[in-house]
C-alpha cells in the first residue's frame, strides 16, 4: 500500500527509471532486428514513452480508493489510457511485485492495471490475470470473487472460442492442478491443433502440464481402488479422491456427503452446493442459489453437532 504522498512520488520516480531501462533494452533489440515477442504476459516493452506509463500510474493512484476493476471506464474517454499501455504497465509492476519493492505494494497496482486492460478488451491481460488467480487460489473459481468476476467471464468467452493457445494452456494448468488430468489433456491436445507447439513461447509449460496430466491419469485407477477400501470410510483423503475422480456420479455424491460429515470444509460444501444446483431447477441467479444451499449445509452440520453434544450429556 502506498502510505504517503512522498512514497507515491518515490514509487513513481523509481518506476520511471525502471521503465526507461526497459525501453532502452527494447529499442536496442529493435535496432538489432530482433522481432518483439507478443504473448500473454509478455508484451514488447515498452510501446510508449516512459512518461506516459507514469502518467497512467498517477491517474490510478488518485482514484484507486474508489476504483473497481473497471477503473479506466470511470475516466473521461479523452484521458482514458489504452489497453496496451495498461497491459505493459501491469507486466512491469508484476516484476516489481516479485522484487518486493520497498515503497509500495506493486502487487495491488499490477492487478489493477491488468484488470483495467481486461475491462477494455485486452485478451492478454485477461489471461494473465486468470493465470495469476489460479496460481494463488487453485481450488477457488475466480468467478466467485466479486472483484474479478468480470475478468473471469471474459476469460470464459476467450476460452470457449477454442482457438487461443494461451487461454487453453492456462485452463489445462488449472485442470491438472485440481486433479482433472483427463480434461487437462484435452486442452493440451487442443493447443497442438491451433498453434505450432515447437515455436510456442509457453512450450515448456505445456509439456510440463502434459507430463503431470499423464502421470495423474495413470495413478488415478490405483488411487480410486485404494479409496474404495472399507477401511478408508473415515478417511477425508479417500473421500476427496472419490469425490474428485470417481466416474460414478452417485459415488462422488456419497463421498462428498461422507467428507462433509467427517469435517465440513469449503471443498465438500462447494461440491454439494454445485451438485444440488445442477440437479434442481434454479430460479434467479445460480451463484446466489449456490450460496444459499451452502449456508443450509452449514446449518445442518451445526444442528447435528449440537444434538450430538446434547446426547452425550
Higher pLDDT, 86 or 263: 86
Residues with Cβ within 8 Å of 189's Cβ and at least 6 positions away in sequence, in order, are none
Q: Give the pLDDT score at 6.
A: 60
State the Cα–Cα distance between residues 24 and 155, nearest whole angstrom: 33
Looking at the chain, the whole-number percentage of residues with pLDDT higher than 90 is: 17
Let me know if residue 223 belongs to a domain: no
User: Quick one: how far is CA 310 from the chain centroid?
Assistant: 44
Render the burial of 185-209: b for 16+ CB within 10 Å, e for the rest. bebbebbeeebebeebbbeebbeeb
Average pLDDT, the chain: 76
Q: Tens digit of pLDDT for each residue in 54-77?
A: 788 888 877 777 777 888 888 888
Render the burial of 111-143: b for 16+ CB within 10 Å, e for the rest. bbbbbbbbbbebbbbbbbbbbbbbeeeeeebbe
Are residues 131 and 150 located together in one domain of the fold? yes
Q: Give the pLDDT score at 162.
A: 92
Domain C-terminal end among 175, 193, 218: 218
Q: If pLDDT is split at 50, 70 and 90, which confidence band does 35 have?
A: very low
Q: Give the pLDDT score at 30.
A: 38
Let me know if residue 276 belongs to a domain: yes
- Residue 14, pLDDT > 90, answer no
- Total domains present in the chain: 3
Are residues 166 and 234 located together in one domain of the fold? no
How would you classify residue 255: left for phi > 0, otherwise alpha for psi between -120 and 50, otherwise beta? alpha
- Residue 190, pLDDT > 80, answer yes
Let me know if residue 167 belongs to a domain: yes
Q: Give the pLDDT score at 156.
A: 94
**Which residue range forms the structural domain that includes residue 251?**
228-306
Are residues 1 and 55 located together in one domain of the fold? yes
State the Cα–Cα distance between residues 293 and 186, nearest whole angstrom: 32
Q: If pLDDT is split at 50, 70 and 90, which confidence band does 29 have?
A: very low
Q: Tens digit of pLDDT for each residue in 193-216?
A: 999 988 998 888 888 888 777 767
Amino acid at each position: 500500500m502506498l502510505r504517503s504522498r512522498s512514497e507515491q512520488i518515490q514509487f513513481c520516480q523509481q518506476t520511471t527509471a525502471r521503465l526507461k531501462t526497459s525501453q532502452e533494452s527494447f529499442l536496442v533489440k529493435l535496432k538489432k532486428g530482433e522481432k518483439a515477442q507478443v504473448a500473454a504476459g509478455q508484451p514488447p516493452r515498452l510501446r510508449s514513452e516512459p512518461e506516459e506509463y507514469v502518467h497512467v500510474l498517477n491517474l490510478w493512484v488518485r482514484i484507486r480508493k474508489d476504483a473497481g476493476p473497471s477503473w479506466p471506464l470511470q475516466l473521461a474517454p479523452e484521458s482514458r489510457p489504452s489497453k496496451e499501455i495498461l497491459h505493459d504497465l501491469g507486466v512491469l509492476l508484476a516484476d516489481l511485485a516479485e522484487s518486493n519493492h520497498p515503497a509500495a505494494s506493486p502487487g495491488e497496482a499490477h492487478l489493477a492495471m491488468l484488470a483495467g486492460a481486461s475491462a477494455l478488451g485486452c485478451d492478454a491481460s485477461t489471461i494473465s490475470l486468470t493465470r495469476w488467480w489460479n496460481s494463488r487460489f487453485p481450488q477457488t473459481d475466480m468467478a466467485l470473487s466479486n472483484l474479478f468476476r468480470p475478468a473471469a467471464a471474459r476469460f470464459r468467452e476467450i476460452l470457449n472460442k477454442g482457438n487461443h493457445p494461451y487461454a487453453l494452456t492456462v485452463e489445462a494448468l488449472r485442470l491438472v492442478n485440481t486433479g482433472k488430468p483427463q480434461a487437462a489433456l484435452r486442452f493440451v491436445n487442443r493447443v497442438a491443433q491451433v498453434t505450432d507447439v515447437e515455436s510456442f513461447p509457453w512450450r515448456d509449460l505445456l509439456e510440463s502440464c502434459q507430463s503431470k496430466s499423464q502421470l495423474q491419469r495413470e495413478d488415478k485407477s490405483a488411487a480410486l481402488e485404494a479409496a474404495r477400501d472399507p477401511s478408508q470410510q473415515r478417511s477425508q483423503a479417500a473421500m476427496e479422491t472419490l469425490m474428485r475422480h470417481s466416474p460414478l456420479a452417485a459415488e462422488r455424491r456419497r463421498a462428498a456427503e461422507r467428507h462433509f460429515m467427517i469435517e465440513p470444509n469449503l471443498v465438500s460444501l462447494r461440491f454439494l452446493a454445485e451438485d444440488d444446483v445442477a440437479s434442481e431447477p434454479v430460479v434467479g441467479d445460480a451463484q446466489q442459489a449456490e450460496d444459499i444451499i451452502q449456508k443450509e449445509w452449514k446449518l445442518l452440520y451445526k444442528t447435528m453437532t449440537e444434538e450430538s453434544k446434547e446426547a452425550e450429556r
